[in-house]
Amino acid sequence: MNESGDTSSSDSRPSEHENKQQLVKYDDTPQFNFSEWNPQTPSALQFLSLISIDHHGFTLPPQQREHVGKIRRGSVNTKRIHQMIIGKPIDRNVIDGRRLRQAVNAEDYDLVDSLLSRNVDPCGTDSKQRSPLHLAAAKGNERLVRMLLDHNANPNQKDIIGNTALHLAACTSHIPVVTLLLKAGTDVNAVDASGRTPLHLARSRLRLLQEESDFSNDQLKTNINQIVAMMKEYLQQSGREKELSELDMLCDKLEHTSTREQLDVVGGLISNFTSLSIEKTQTG
């Protein structure tokens, strides 16, 4: 500031030290004009999917942002960038497959729909051989499971320890998802590492419902109907027509219940029926 109180032009310039700090700060940042550039070539898309643009404070339009990765620096990403340098291409399907799994995990329906509409493979797996369908089933997200199945996700695909999406939905007690996967053609003979089938899940859930005192009659009836729908699909897929007819008769009884006592009685009958079906499966 001079004697008159005005700030001189020389004082407003950044100091040499500030210049050095800015050079250090942005020295490793790719210097692209993102406001005007629209990536088209495969190599450009591959590179943008690797660099961590978001960590440098850039704000990109949606049509460009979808190409940009949010990957932290690490040995794996360093290896991939090295592959780019030596001219080894990175499979775009691998990148899109990872984005699809991330979108499923985040339950980002719009992004999942966008990726599937662009024919991204719904069967791509992670290091544990889990597909997007495995992830959606484990979450019990019926909408995502349906979206993936509608785009030809394989319901019988197994992860690294042999679990299908059905097993993951069953062990987390997501009855509607189990029913949906059975309708999609999941192998009903496939069992998990403990030898459990959907019938084991049904029996377990029915027993828990019998101990549930906080549910209203309508809530209890709805839950029993969900379990019955799963059991029906399982028996139908297994070709067990006689048991299916017996279950239909129990369903008629369920429809005519109005009190908690009646619901408990019919629920107990369905639970006993399930136990007998499990015994027949094991002895058959």
Mean pLDDT computed over 160-180: 85
More confident residue, 262 or 9: 262
Average pLDDT in the chain: 75
92-178: CATH topology is 1.25.40
pLDDT digits (tens, 9 = 90+) for 237-275: 888 888 889 899 998 988 888 888 888 888 888 888 888
Helix-, strand-, coil-residue percentages of the chain, each rounded to 5:
60, 0, 40
**Rounded to a whole number, what is the distance in angstroms from the first to the last CA of the chain?**
95
Give the pLDDT band of residue 72 (cuts 50, 70, 90).
very low
Q: How many CB atoms lie within 10 A of CB 228?
A: 23
The total of other beta-carbon atoms located within 10 Å of residue 185's CB is: 12
Among the residues of 106-216, which ranges form H helices? 109-117, 132-139, 142-150, 165-171, 175-183, 198-211
How does pLDDT run across 187-210, given as a tens digit for each residue? 877 766 677 777 777 788 888 887
Give the model's confidence band at 99: pLDDT under 50 very low, under 70 low, under 90 confident, else very high.
very high
Q: Is 56 helix (H, G, I), strand (E, B) or coil?
A: helix
Q: Which two tokens stand for residue 67?
A: 């190409």
Residue that wins the pLDDT comparison between 90 and 97: 97
- What are the distances in angstroms from CA 82 to CA 26, 46, 87, 93, 109? 21, 12, 9, 19, 34
